[in-house]
Amino acid sequence: KPSIVWFRDDLRAADNPALRAAADDGSAVALYVLDEESPGIRPLGGASRWWLHHSLLALREDLAALGVPLLLRRGPATEVVRETATAVGTGSLYWNRRYGEPERMLDAGIKTWARESGMHAESFQASLLHEPWAVTTKQGGPFKVFTPFWRTVSGLDFREPLEAPEPGRGFSGRLPESEDLDTWGMLPRNPDWSAGLAESWQPGSAQAHELLDDFVENGLADYSVNRDRPDVPGSSRLSPFLRWGQLSPFEVWHAQQCRRQELGDGAAVFASELGWREFCWHQYFHHPDLATANLRPGFDHYPWAWPGGQGAGSHEPAVQEAANLLRAWQQGRTGFPIVDAGQRQLWHTGWMHNRVRMVSASLLVKNLGIHWQVGEQWFWDTLVDADPASNPANWQWVAGSGADASPFFRIFNPETQAKKFDPNGSYVGQWIPELSTADYPEPVVDLKASRREALDAYGNLPR
């Protein structure tokens, strides 16, 4: 009987334990389900849909080289997986674990159904180095602060990445027809805004490995110095590949570990960034409402300018003004060059440098007074690495409402940040050609006054 491997956020052939298990059975069939209907599943943003479309094309090719057919299906996953497993006459169902609450509930239901139907069903650890339930404080609860979390786990080592299965382990019998990816409508049309994304990325494991090898060879040594500089290619740019699983954290971990002795600091700092990714996922596991609720409930009383008390449709001048400020931020027209460069980089490439993400998010939340969830949703829609855990966790970090958040009074000043991290102005110059002309807008907000207002509002929050 054929075995089904159900692909989700693990769109790779190498270091994929579920695929290996299916191939070891001797006749693997791969399945991907686009589920936009099951309760609680967050609909993908526009840039993510573009990435996913191209990733599935790349995955289909990678699997075809192994002789494994990929079935594409759209619909509520519970029904689709059951129907497909029945139609294929499968004996075993394999997948790599997901950690969001709705996804876990759904997977648990399918596992129970499969076992009751006489199938073998098994899940594996593949997307995180540490299972969220396995890392606890001495008292047995989850870590709330990154430093002790990382101190506890950073000394551990991990299994070697698995090779992709040998070719010839795919199922070659009759299968139900795969859906046509083009009918899923994941590519933008009218207008097609994806040209910049296509210039910047080739979604798939091939580019992921090229970037990883190049970074470990040329970038890792100076990472701890260059990572904060948006004007130099100092970070790995692996985030979308880690988000979609075209690269596993085990592969990335071992690649840096190979040069750890020789490089010391650069490699250790890079490893701790992988630690932040884990920490975000652990927070999300323990707080499934991370994207929709302040982890510090005192922030429920913060007087946001937007969404205003009167709601988004209001014609109140204050609400209208906040809506205009939001639009200026989204379009890179705030008059703060480093923020505008970041927002334009995001719109054009689907990615923004981490330092600039922090500065831009801080301006939105603290100077423009706009709710962090509004910014989170914009990033969710526009980032190719839009991640269900890292995006809300980082927004809550910047806003000060998160578990281990940056202190609220640490408000990034976009002017000093630009001087420090883009000292020659080359990053800003690259994204804002009209910078020194009259076409470039004046700052939309007074930094000093808005900072004062934010601090006063924070001071009035209930503790």
Binding site for ligand FAD (CB under 6 A): 227, 235-239, 242-243, 273-274, 276-277, 280, 354, 357-358, 361, 379, 383, 385-387, 390-391, 394-395, 398
What φ, ψ does residue 95 adopt, rounded to 5°? -155, 165
Q: What letter represents residue 418's amino acid?
A: A
Contact 349, 203 (CB under 8 A): no
User: Contact, 38 vs 78, CB < 8 A?
Assistant: yes
Nearest to 164 by CA among 55, 271, 13, 280: 13
Cα 85–chain centre separation: 30
Q: At its nearest, how many Å lie between ligand FAD and the CB of residue 210?
A: 14
Order of strands, edge to edge, in the sheet holding 28-34?
Answer: 70-74, 28-34, 3-7, 92-96, 120-124
By residue count, the chain amounts to 463
C-alpha span between 187 and 194 (Å, rounded) = 8
Asked whether the beta carbons of 323 and 371 are under 8 A apart, the reply is: no
Residue 437 phi/psi, 5-degree rounding, is -110, 170
Instruction: Give min distance, CB of 452 to ligand FAD, in A.
Output: 23
- Beta carbon of residue 433, minimum distance to ligand FAD (angstroms, whole number): 24
Task: Tell me the closest approach of the beta carbon of residue 426 to ligand FAD, in angstroms.
Answer: 18
Nearer of residues 314 and 377 to ligand FAD, judged by Cβ: 377
CB of 174 to ligand FAD, least distance (A): 40
Helix or strand or coil: residue 408? coil
Q: Nearer to ligand FAD by C-beta: 222 or 321? A: 222
Q: What value, to the nearest 5°, has the Cα angle with vertex 146 and ends 142 and 149? A: 55
Helix axis angle, 46-66 relative to 205-214, nearest 10°?
Answer: 100
CB nearer ligand FAD, residue 22 or residue 405: 405
The least CB distance from residue 427 to ligand FAD, in Å, is: 14
Tell me which residue of 55, 52, 67 sits closest to 168, measured CA to CA: 67
Least Å distance between CB 339 and ligand FAD?
A: 12
Query: With respect to ligand FAD, which residue has the nearer C-beta, 334 or 391?
Result: 391
Residues 6+ apart with CB under 8 A from 99: 127, 128, 132, 281, 284, 285, 389
Beta carbon nearer to ligand FAD, 2 or 414: 414
Helix 390-399 vs helix 265-286: crossing angle, to nearest 10 = 100
Please, which residue, 276 or 458, has the CB nearer to ligand FAD?
276
**By C-beta, is 9 or 387 nearer to ligand FAD?**
387
Please give the single-letter amino acid code of residue 348.
H
Q: Among residues 186 and 361, whose Cβ is nearest to ligand FAD?
A: 361
Identify the bridge partners of residue 33 per DSSP, sorted by sequence position: 73
* Nearest-approach distance from CB 454 to ligand FAD, in angstroms: 17
Amino acid, single-letter form, for residue 35: D
Least CB distance from residue 230 to ligand FAD, whole Å? 10
> Which residue lies nearer to ligand FAD by CB, 239 or 246?
239
Check if the beta carbon of residue 18 is closer than 8 Å to that of residue 107: no
